[in-house]
Each structure stands twice: as C-alpha cells, then as structure tokens.
Structure 1
Amino acid sequence: MRERGRTGRLVVMFETRHLTRRFGELVAVDDVSLEVPDGATVGFVGGNGAGKTTTMRMIMGLLGPDAGEVLWDGAPITAAERRRIGYMPEERGLYPKQRVLDQLVYLARLHGAGAAAARAEAVALLEAFGLGERTDEKLEKLSLGNQQRVQVTAAVMTEPAALILDEPFSGLDPEAVDSLAEVLRTRTAAGVPLLFSSHQLSLVERLCDRLVILSHGRVVAAGTREELEAGGESRHRLVMDVDTGWVRDLPGITVLDVAGPTALLTLETADARRALLTEALARGDVRELAEVRPTLAEIYREVTR
C-alpha cells in the first residue's frame, strides 16, 4: 500500500480526465472525470444508458475515447498496467462448457500465477462463495447467480492492483452479497482501489467511500456521502401528539409531506425553525424536531431530475 503524500491525502491510483465517447450522433460519455484512490471503494451509479459501462470499457482499453485520457498514478495508463486490473465486464466472459476450477486456474496463469497457487486461491474463494463442492462442474450447469459468483472470483484472483467491476452484485442472493462484500473489503484494506457499478443504491450506500453519479453521460454529482448530503436539500421532520397540518400556514417553510402527527418540511432560515418550534410548543407536545439525513436514493433523484 502506498504511503500518503505530505498533505495526508491518499495517492490516486487511477483516474479519468474529460473522457468522451460518441456513437454517431449519440454522446454516450460526456467529459467524465473521476478518481479512485488507493484502498477506496467508489460506487458508479446511474440509470440504464447513463454511460457507466462505456466509461469502464474505456478505462480498460476496450474502447478508445474520442477525447480525454485515463491515468495510472498520474501518468497515461499502459497496456501492462491494464493487465494488472481485475475486470468484470457487464457480459459474462467465461467458458460455459469448461469446468469451473479448471478455467479459473487457466485465467490466473494467464496473469502469471503458478498452477498450485492459482488452484489454492480459486478453491478458497469458491468456498467463500459457497461453491466449494461444485468446483468440478461445468459452468453451464450452475444457476445464473452461481455463474456470477464464478465471474467475480475470476476478477478478484491473483492480487489485482485495482478492481473494476460492472454490476458485480447482479443476481446474487443476500448471502452471496455478504460474501462478496467481505472479499472486496479484504482487497481494499490491502490498498486496492475499487470502482464498481450497481443499480442497488442501498448496497452502494453501505459499501462505498465515495460515489460518482452519472446522468445522460455526464457526472452530475461526486464525492463522499457527507459531501453529497451537504450539497443537497436540508429537510426536517416534526413529530407531535396532535395533527401537524397547521405547518402549511407558517411562512419560511416548504411542506413536503404531512401525515397526521408527522410533517416533513424544509426550513428556509434559522428564524423559520425558531418560529416553527414556538408554534409547535403552543399547540401540543413536540416529540421530535430533527434534521433528516437523505437516503442515497433521494440524493440520486434530486441530482438526476
């Protein structure tokens, strides 16, 4: 794991600068810049067609950019450095008629691992994913979820210098999700930077240090959860022992929802908050007046609308 710089900031392992890719008249990726520091887990979030997969393919050199560049430790990335990245594509790239363990060992040896070491690592990972008794089966005999576990195993083997995973949790049951999350934590704890895409916002919220949100090919928000919250709309929840419909009549307040004794609202000023509390105390018992932390889904909807 690399040392921190003099500022205390982690050295960036890989990043993109102003990546752009067009398909005819369609701008699929539009000036996308992002960075993935050592040991960080970065969630890549966006709807279908937002540009996530195209960006990952350009990072891996499978597509050439029309503009922009991919950097590895501050310099243009090379083919040798790309070979050190554990990559899981959107489409499964394994051999359906080959035995699970055999092809994992084969792929690991292509990355320079010895046969014995590759076999031992593959068996350990398959056991961690609940496939320890199915190592000699052909891939096509497994369910789609179990095929996904094998695909992820292929990506994380042989101590990759970085990980880029396109929808790695798709099709996995909760137990497999937990197993994969634990394996990924061991990699990032060793300093491996991880970029992964997912439509499961609750999972991204749970696992990621940083988030990059794409919409129509552009980055519309990026940063830590705290940074994204700071840029979002502040909300408060009022809970009383009486109906809270009266909040609609107060100035300086935008009412988002009222359901009997509970109101969700935004306060324009500190004076509006004080006026709300004074009026609430005059009308009954105040059980709660608190700032509400937005969910990632709410942040996502706000920045992509």
Structure 2
Amino acid sequence: MLLLERQCQVITRAQALHHLTERALRHRLTSGRWQTAHPGVYVAHSGPIGPAERRWIAVLGAVNGHLASLGGLSALEILGFRGFPDPTIHVIVPARLVPKRPPPGVTVHRTTRMLRSELHPASSPPSTRPARSLLDAAQWQPSERRAATIILAGFQQRLVRAEEMSAAVAAMPRIRHRAVIRETIGDAANGVRSLPEAEFVRLCRTARLPEPELQKPRRDHAGRRNYLDAYFPDHGVHVEIDGSHHMEIRQWWIDMRRQNELWLPGERVLRFPAWAIRHAPAEVVAQLRQALSDAPRPKRP
C-alpha cells in the first residue's frame, strides 16, 4: 500500500477503511500483524516503534480526523537542525481545532495564524518551513536566553536568512520573546554567530564603546584563514570569546597559537570567557575600555 510507505507504516482508521473492510482491519489488529499506537491510529507492523513512526503518529493522532504539522524543534529536526534534541514531539494546528487526548509525548500548539505559504511543500511528515519553525521553537522556550540561542543556531547552520526571518517575525506581532528574537535576528544579520558574541556586542553598546567587527577573516603568517571573534580595527584590539570547547587541550593550543601570531605584529588580544561576559560585565568593560584608550591606529588593509 503506497500510503503506508509514504507514512512510515502509520495509518489512521479512516484511511485504513478506504482500503480494507472492517473485518480485515480487525483481523490485522487481533492477529498482531498491526498494532494500535493511539486510538484510531495504527502501525502496520508488530515491531518496535521508532522516531519516524512516532512523528507520523503525532501528526495523525494529535487531533482526531485532522492532519497536524510538525512545528518548532520537531520540524527543524527533520529539516536538518542539530544540537537541540527534544524528546517531546511538537505539532501545530489551527486554533479552531481542540485536541482532546494527543498521543503520549506529543505537545499540541494551537495557532491563529497558519498560512499555506508557511507549510513546507515537501517535508514528510508535514511540517512548517524553516523560518516559521525557528520562530515557533524560540517562542515556545521558557527563557529568552534559550530562545536567542536557538535563533542564532538557525543562522549558524544556514537554515534561514535574515530577510525571511525579519519578514516572519513582522507578521507575528504577538509571539513570546518578540523583542529578544528581533534583536537576535539583527545581531545575526550583522555577523553574530553565538550567544556569547551577541551578549558581548550588547555589552559594548550599553557601555558606549565602539562596536566591533565580528567574524572578521584574517590570514596568519602561514596563509591560513582565521576568523576573529570580535575586532576593533581602529585600535588593533582583538577580543576572543571563549566557550567551554576552548578548554579542550587541542583547541586551547590552536587559540593560543593564533593569539601569539596576532601579538607578533603588534596586535593586542583580550580573552574573556563567556561566563565573565554574563556574570562579570563591569570587569570586562573596564579591561576593554583600557585597551581601547590608546591612540587610534589606522585600519589594516
């Protein structure tokens, strides 16, 4: 049955009765050839139910008689998003539909805005497009920090562009965490690729310091292409923002070697852990202000 192949062996009772008699369906279930995954939703085999089947069970069983769409992190996962595993399957339905008892492990989000243009034309199971999925994933988070991290990850993984994200958030004026989401989209459009970088830029703005250039490409003495986290070209100051991965010994040496190569021609490097930017901003600002207080230097070509 082609329908079963398309739906990873998951089928609703209504769909099954288009192809089988009531008696034939009952025999498949009582014989153990098929199993009931949720009231009115069956799996056409007797083996373990995996992630692919669970997604189809979610979209077919969330609201009886209606097909839901994967949304948020669940939609992003099948679109290639990585780094944010979520055991819950998120589906989205129009607000007029009221779920009574969704399958276990499924969260149903009702929305007053669901345009056909926001649905992915080729995903299986049905899902929202990347921009809408990323916005929903962010607004469904409990904290603004987590929301901003997800938005930046979407840009870093090249799932979305700034123009489409700006248009999407403009069309959804009532989403949760909207101010932070808009600011983060702007940061990403200007080159920010991680939350510590975004926090550093905001710290510079708050302290009325010059805004740095982000992820600026430079070549070292061996011709290798490197990217500077934050660079103040008028002062020859480079800021390296260290996350937890910088503590791994090989990565630590790579960072130290790059710092040494920048120091050799006279550039200065400041290094701040992400923790300090978040929890000791006054100390970060004091050191940065002191480094920038020397006479400006001409921009390097």
**TM-score, normalization by structure 1:** 0.27
Q: Which has the higher strand share?
A: 1
Which structure would you say has the larger Rg?
Answer: 2
Task: Flag the structure with more relative contact order, 1 or 2, with Cα contacts below 8 A and sequence separation at least 6.
Answer: 1
